[in-house]
Amino acid sequence: MSASKSVSVKNLSKIFDGSGGKKVTAVNNVSLTINPGEFVTLLGPSGCGKTTILRMVAGFETPTAGDVLIGDERVNTLTPDRRDTAMVFQSYALFPHLNVFENIAYGLKIKKLKPDVIRAKVKEILGLVDLHDLETRSPNQLSGGQQQRVALARALVMEPSVLLFDEPLSNLDAKLRIHMRREIRKIQHQFGITSIYVTHDQAEAMSMSDRIIVMNKGVVEQVGTPREIYATPASQFVADFIGTANIIPSQVVAVNSERTEVSALGTSFHVKTSLSLQPGDTVKLIVRPEAITLSCDAGIPATISSSVFMGAYQDYVISSHGQNLLLVDADPANHQTFEAGEQVFLVIAPNKLHIVK
Amino acid sequence: MKRDPALVSAIATLWLALGVFVLYPFARLLQVTFFADGYFSLASLERVFTNWYDRAAVFNSLQLAFAVALAGVLLGFIFAFAVTRMNLPKPTKWFLGAVPVLPLISPPFTSSIAITLALGPNGMFFRWFGLPEFTIYGFWGTWLSETLTVFPVAFLTLSAVLAAIDPNLEDASLSLGRSRLGTFASVTLPLTTPGLANAFLLLFASSLADFATPLVLAGHSFPVLPTQAYLQITGLHDLRGGASLSFILLIPALIVYFLQRYWIGEKSYVTISGKSGPRTGIRSLGLAPEVGVMTVCLLVSVFILFLYAIIFLGSLVKVWGVDYRPTFEHYEYVFNRGMKAIKDTILIALVATPIGAILGTAFGYITSRMRFPGRRFMEFTALLNYALPGTVVGISYVIAFNTGPLVLTGTMAIIVAAYVFRYDATGIRSTVASLQQIDLSLEEASLSLGESAFGTFRKVTLPLIIPAVTAGMKFLFIRAMTAISATIFLISVHWTLLTTRILECMTELQFAQASAFSVVLILIVFAASGLISLMFRLAYPRYSR
Ligand SMILES: Nc1ncnc2c1ncn2[C@@H]1O[C@H](COP(=O)(O)OP(=O)(O)OP(=O)(O)O)[C@@H](O)[C@H]1O
Ligand SMILES: [Mg+2]
């Protein structure tokens, strides 16, 4: 068992030689520090460089520029087997010539553990990933989800200092996925394994991460706790990518130390911000759907464009001052619902507003 | 990751070996071809193109190689398809897999002798069926014999490729609404394309370089380059003339080689992905195509067996066609007068095979998985001696190791080296081909679990490429037992070969003794290649692919 280690990358870039001599900048000058024992998620659209960062940390790709540090050690020139990392591959990468037991025991054997210790560890991890009776199966006799869990078990059982996950749960059903999230978190926490986790699933990122790193086109857009990322996105991209956001163009009217006054939807809002702005600047007002409530008597006038009952909540699209807005009524049973075409008024909670440039 | 000292020393060792046994003899050969009395001269090449007989040889060689490669690949594919992609009863499968092995493990003379006896002047075929006489000597006889001799190579490479195609891909196409034949044409065949091209190259090159078959069957009206070069040297003692003829032979071989690299090099079909679905069963192509495939396979198999029956019976009767009393006297001759050749041949093959297997796997692995300057040139050089006609290799070794810093004439080492650096090509190619099908993430997973690069190779890569390595080893062993084109120049009183003894018997018209030698040789090779397969099955018992 190894002590927790931090992982940091400094000014890391990776440029691939694409086909036809074109260069592809997969990762562009990224700097990050991940604390010992921390669980961070890399979130971003397909092709934004998440896998490439993981592969540079694991040692499969040599950075074009910049450094990778594990603990205090610069590992740029260290081969993957000399780095105390284990990776769960997007493509599983199970050894087709070995059965489930041998796949999971593969790394333990390299550690020269005693056979009975190996057996016990494999048994235990197989229990965790719910694959008790499949030890002697070969990978091509397993379903996609089972293969994925073997791949996960093979990395988890190593208890390395750093675990790298590349969409490890993408092939599992919703229930199993929630179960596996918990198990991964538990093991990770128990051994203080620093973890970098790539996913497309926002719920996964929100529920598991200490911090989330949002990437776009090879650069880091924002790093923060799930709460920060959601409540105070650093850019329109982040606001749009994480959850649902109404993005309303607006203008700065006045700036004072406490709040900034912006005008939008025919009225003005007082918003807290850390941006330094001048009156007259154009900004984007970020309004989460749950920040808006509907009223019959007072507020910003609007028309209901569509109204959909979703069971636990009611989804509306409304239009006001030429702007389409999404909003969610979380408790439709409790009060009046509206139908398409009705005239209503909007009430927007000022402390849930956020502005980006 | 880049400056791994073990890798650097491995590369240095491989380059040293290539330098001594490939580049150096090649350079000496070019020197003899292009330099006369210390001056650059094209005189010897000019002579080839002004002599009509030599010009005919150039054309004939190309035509023959093309026809042989085409027919051989087609036949090999049909056999491979039957064995890997049809629901046949086990014994039928075994039979179809075993028959093509016969021509592969016999010296090239075998089918030539049998074809002469069956189809030649007064051949029994014509007498039995009362067919009009025609002469087998020339293009058709040579083509038939060479096709039968080389198609097994295509069969072996293509059945490996076909077996590795994930049936799920075909299922996917079927589920997308393609018919079975449509799926075959749009999925199976394109996935096999690199394999087909690879097989075509192998066959084209071996036909170009083959001189044993034309020596027996081509006759004077159909000269080809290798025999011309050989006769030039042994008959006329004109080393330069023979070298220039072979040099011309080398040009089309290199063109094909470059074509193949450009065409296939771009395509990498990853079918062993580490993300595997359950393997589904074999889907039938439909009745009519399968009947067609089976008809071809059975006809060809029966014809091959018929030829071998002639050789076998011919070795057991006094004089074929004249005196059919059974006798063992030819075998007595073989085991008395030919014992040294038998021992020498076996020893040489036993030494060459493991060396070639290790070198071939090393070349294949390092050139396709490692990135280092000169990688492509290393691959090119490692395959050069195979692209070169055997005659050229033989002559260049004579020139290089007769005089100069390293004298090897008359030793076993020179014969072993000739075999190793010429016939590890199959091992290299099949290793490369099978590595192309193994997703890199498998090796990365092992590295990330803490296994060293070498351990990863041993535990993950090697078990996955072992069929390719085994195929390469078998090929090398068989060629070391049966080849003649290069080594006929390298034998000596100390080291002699079974194949050259057969050639001697034939020039003295001792067909029965030649047949007996052939039978013995075939049996040894058969036993040994079975042993190689067995060894690997014992070493990797759970290899199920
Ligand atoms: N070996 C390579 N050669 C050339 N380009 C590459 C290579 N590997 C990745 N790329 C490119 O780099 C970019 C980032 O790829 P990467 O695999 O890191 O994306 P990702 O964020 O993991 O995407 P996904 O979520 O789809 O897995 C992509 O544009 C990809 O096409
Ligand atoms: Mg990815």
For CA atoms B398, B400, B403, B407, the dihedral sign is: negative
Nearest CA in chain B to A85: B448
Residues in chain A: 357
List CB contacts (< 8 A) between B460 and chain A.
Answer: 95, 97
Give pLDDT, residue A26. 93
Question: What percentage of residues in chain B have a pLDDT greater than 70?
Answer: 88
Which of B441, B449, B544 has the most A C-beta neighbours within 10 Å, making it the best mutation to test the interface with A? B449
Q: What is the largest CA-CA distance in chain A?
A: 75
Question: What is the spatial distance between Cα A242 and Cα A232, in angstroms, rounded to a whole number?
Answer: 11
- Choose which residue among A16, A89, A216, A219 to substitute to test ligand 1 binding: the one with the highest number of ligand atoms within 8 A of its C-beta: A16
- The pLDDT of residue B542 is 57
**pLDDT at residue B541, as a whole number:** 66
User: Global pTM?
Assistant: 0.73
The H or E element spanning position B432 is helix B425-436
Q: How far is the CA of A89 from the centre of ligand 1 (A)?
A: 14
3-class DSSP state of A294: strand
Q: Please give the mean pLDDT across all residues of chain B.
A: 82
In the numeric block, which tokens belong to residue B510? Answer: 């001792």
Residues lining ligand 1, judged by CB closer than 6 Å?
A: A 16, 18, 24, 26, 46-52
- The answer to whether A37 and A1 have CB atoms below 8 angstroms apart is no
CB-CB: which of A59, A106, A141 is closest to B449?
A106
Residue B508 token pair: 């003295």
For the stretch B67-104, pLDDT in tens is 999 999 999 999 998 988 888 888 888 898 888 888 87
DSSP-based three-state secondary structure for B273: coil
The answer to whether B439 and B395 are in contact (CB under 8 A) is no
Indicate whether B275 pLDDT > 60.
no
Instruction: Give the helix, strand, coil percentages of chain B, each rounded to 5.
Output: 75, 0, 20
Under 8 Å between Cβ of A295 and A346: yes
CA of A45 to the centre of ligand 2 (A): 10
How does residue A10 score in pLDDT terms, banded at 50, 70 and 90?
Answer: very high
- Give the distance (Å) from ligand 1 centre to CA of residue A52: 6
Cα distances (angstroms) measured from residue B72 to each of A169, B77, B199, B300, B516: 49, 8, 9, 12, 27
Cα gap B309→A107, rounded to integer Å: 55
pLDDT at B44: 72
Tens of pLDDT, residue by residue over B421-440, are 999 888 898 888 888 888 88
Question: Which ipTM did the prediction report?
Answer: 0.74
pLDDT tens digits, B201-257: 888 888 888 878 888 888 778 888 888 888 887 777 777 777 788 788 778 777 777
DSSP H/E element including B260: helix B239-265
Record: contact A106-B451, CB cut-off 8 A:
yes
Mean pLDDT confidence for B39-47: 75
State whether residue B164 sits within 8 Å of chain A by CB: no
Helix (H, G, I), strand (E, B) or coil at B307: helix
Determine the average pLDDT of the residues in B380-384. 88
What distance in Å separates the CA atoms of residue A352 and residue A243, rounded to the nearest whole number?
14
Residues of B in contact with A81 (CB under 8 A): 447-453, 455-456
Spell out the residues 6+ positions from residue A187 whose beta carbon is closer than 8 angstroms to its own. Answer: A128, A156, A159, A193
pLDDT tens readout for residues A218-271: 999 999 999 999 999 999 999 999 888 999 999 999 888 778 899 888 888 988
- What confidence score (pLDDT) does residue B509 get? 75
CA-nearest residue, atom 2 of ligand 1: A16
Predicted local distance difference test score (pLDDT) of residue B490: 87
CB of A144 closer than 8 Å to CB of A171: yes
Q: Is the pLDDT of residue A273 over 50?
A: yes
Q: Which residue of B271, B448, B459 is the best one to mutate when testing the A interface, meaning the one whose CB has the most A CBs within 10 A?
A: B448
Q: How many CB atoms lie within 10 A of CB B48?
A: 19
- Contact B227/B214 with Cβ under 8 angstroms? yes
Question: Looking at residue B272, what DSSP letter applies?
Answer: B
Provide the H-helix boundaries in A209-355.
Answer: 226-231, 236-241
Q: Which of A58, A97, A139 sits opposite B448 (nearest CB)?
A: A58
Q: What is the tens place of the pLDDT at every residue in A119-173?
A: 999 999 998 888 888 999 988 888 888 888 899 899 989 888 999 999 888 888 8
Confidence of residue A77 (pLDDT cuts 50, 70, 90): confident
- Pairwise CB contact (< 8 Å): A147 & B442: no
Residues 6 or more apart from A23 whose CB is under 8 A from it? A15, A16, A17
The secondary structure element, H or E, covering residue B159 is helix B139-164
**Residues with Cβ < 8 Å from B341, sequence gap 6 or more?**
B496, B497, B498, B500, B501
Is residue B174 a contact partner of residue B98, using CB atoms and an 8 Å limit? Answer: no
Residue B423 near residue B480 (C-beta atoms within 8 A):
yes
From chain B, pick out residues whose CB is under 8 angstroms from the CB of A92: 274-275
- pLDDT-above-90 percentage for chain A: 41
> CA-CA distance, B66 to B259, in Å (whole number)?
14
Closest chain A residue to B541, measured at CA:
A97
Ligand 1, atom 13: closest residue by C-alpha: A26
- Round to whole Å and give the CA distance between B500 and B495: 11
Which one is predicted more confidently, A196 or B225? A196
Residues B76/B153, Cβ–Cβ less than 8 Å: yes
CA distance B201 to B383: 12
pLDDT for A283 beyond 50: yes
> Phi and psi of B84, rounded to 5°?
-100, -25
Is residue B387 scored above 80 in pLDDT?
Answer: no
Among partner residues B439, B455, B545, which is closest to A93 by beta-carbon distance? B439
- Cβ proximity of A30 and A196 under 8 Å: no
Q: What is the pLDDT of residues B492-513, one digit of tens each?
A: 888 888 888 888 887 787 888 8
pLDDT of residue B126: 58
Q: Taking CB atoms and an 8 Å cutoff, what residues of chain B touch A59?
A: 1, 447-448
A91 and B460 within 8 Å at the Cβ level: the answer is no
E strands within chain A? 7-17, 23-34, 39-43, 65-70, 73-74, 85-88, 162-166, 194-199, 211-216, 219-224, 246-255, 260-264, 267-271, 282-287, 292-295, 300-309, 314-320, 323-329, 343-348, 354-356
| Closest CA to ligand 1's atom 25 | A46
Nearest Cα neighbor of A50 from A206, A218, A162 is A218
Residue with tokens 């749960």: A169
Confidence grade of residue A317 (pLDDT, cut at 50, 70, 90): very high
Rounded to whole angstroms, the Cα distance separating B258 from B278 reads: 38
Instruction: Tell me which amino acid residue A226 is.
Output: P
Continuous H helices in chain A: 50-58, 100-110, 115-128, 144-156, 174-191, 202-208, 226-231, 236-241
Span B191-195, mean pLDDT? Answer: 81
The residue-averaged pLDDT of B344-356 equals 93
Q: Which domains does chain A have, with CATH numbers?
A: 7-236 (3.40.50.300), 244-286 (2.30.30), 288-349 (2.40.50.140)
At B283 the pLDDT is 62
A50 CA from centroid of ligand 1 (Å) = 8
pLDDT of B129 reads 63
Mutating to test ligand 1, I would choose from A12, A19, A24 the residue with most ligand atoms within 8 A of its C-beta, which is A24
- pLDDT of A295 reads 84
B451 vs A: CB within 8 A: yes
Average per-residue pLDDT for chain A: 89
**To the nearest 10°, the Cα dihedral for B288, B294, B300, B304?**
-170
The domains located in chain B, with CATH, are: 6-28+59-270+286-316+331-539 (1.10.3720.10)
pLDDT for B23 equals 94
What stretch of H or E contains B192? helix B189-209
Task: Taking residues B537-543, report their average pLDDT.
Answer: 69
Q: Ligand nearest A64 Cα, by number?
A: 1
CA–centroid distance, A349 to ligand 1, in Å, is 41
For chain B, positions 464-503, list CB contacts with chain A under 8 A: 464
